[in-house]
Amino acid sequence: MQEKVYNVLFLCTGNSARSIMAEALVTTMGKGRFKGFSAGSHPGGAVNPFAIEQVANTGYPIIDLRSKSWDEFGTPDAPHMDFIFTVCDNAAGETCPYWPGHPMSAHWGFEDPAAVVGTDEEKRAAFQRIFRQITARMNIFVSLPLHMLEKNAIQREIQAIGETSV
């Protein structure tokens, strides 16, 4: 019997960095159990080159990365999401579209590495730090025995992951 593949959507305002990195990480770290997606409330239209650097190291196909609106995932023909995570505080405070299927959701806040002003080395270091933080939370998430947990237990666990110090 084939194990269920869980669809996971990561939301951020611009969909250029944190949500992009999370999409790649859940897909690669989930080893076929998870398919990651990302979107933004006001997508910037381009993926940050420092995010692309981080994603390239995961083996995720960077050609699949693009900055897109969360409206794409609120339509009846969109992939059904099992989980939705906001990864920036701005997106967490916005009114989200209706998500078909009533997926479980939580806020996993991370600082915005794209907001760092400085040299390329300083920017790269910020992206590396946030990438490590997302990786730490993703390790916990992809290890959850979702097939054995009931919905309320899963909801408590995913919220607790977002409250974890990284």
- Per residue in 100-158, pLDDT (tens digit) is 777 888 999 999 999 999 999 999 999 999 999 999 999 999 998 877 767 778 888 88
pTM of the model: 0.89
Q: What is the pLDDT confidence band of residue 98, given thresholds at 50, 70 and 90?
A: low
- Which range among 32-41, 90-99, 117-126, 150-159 shows the weakest confidence by mean pLDDT? 90-99
Q: Exactly one of 11, 12, 21, 154 is catalytic; name it.
A: 12
| pLDDT surpassing 60 at residue 92 | no
Q: Exactly one of 65, 88, 104, 161 is catalytic; name it.
A: 88
| Neighbour-count burial for 43-61, b at 16+ CB within 10 Å, e otherwise | beeebbebbbebbeebebe
- Is 88 among the catalytic positions? yes
| pLDDT surpassing 80 at residue 66 | yes
- Is 74 among the catalytic positions? no
Q: Exactly one of 53, 62, 89, 96 is catalytic; name it.
A: 96
- Is 96 among the catalytic positions? yes
Q: What is the DSSP string of 33-91?
A: SEEEEEEESS--SS--HHHHHHHHTTT--GGG----BGGGGSSTTSPPPSEEEE-SHHH
Amino acid 146: pLDDT: 77
Amino acid 76: pLDDT: 81
Amino acid 3: pLDDT: 79
| pLDDT surpassing 60 at residue 1 | no
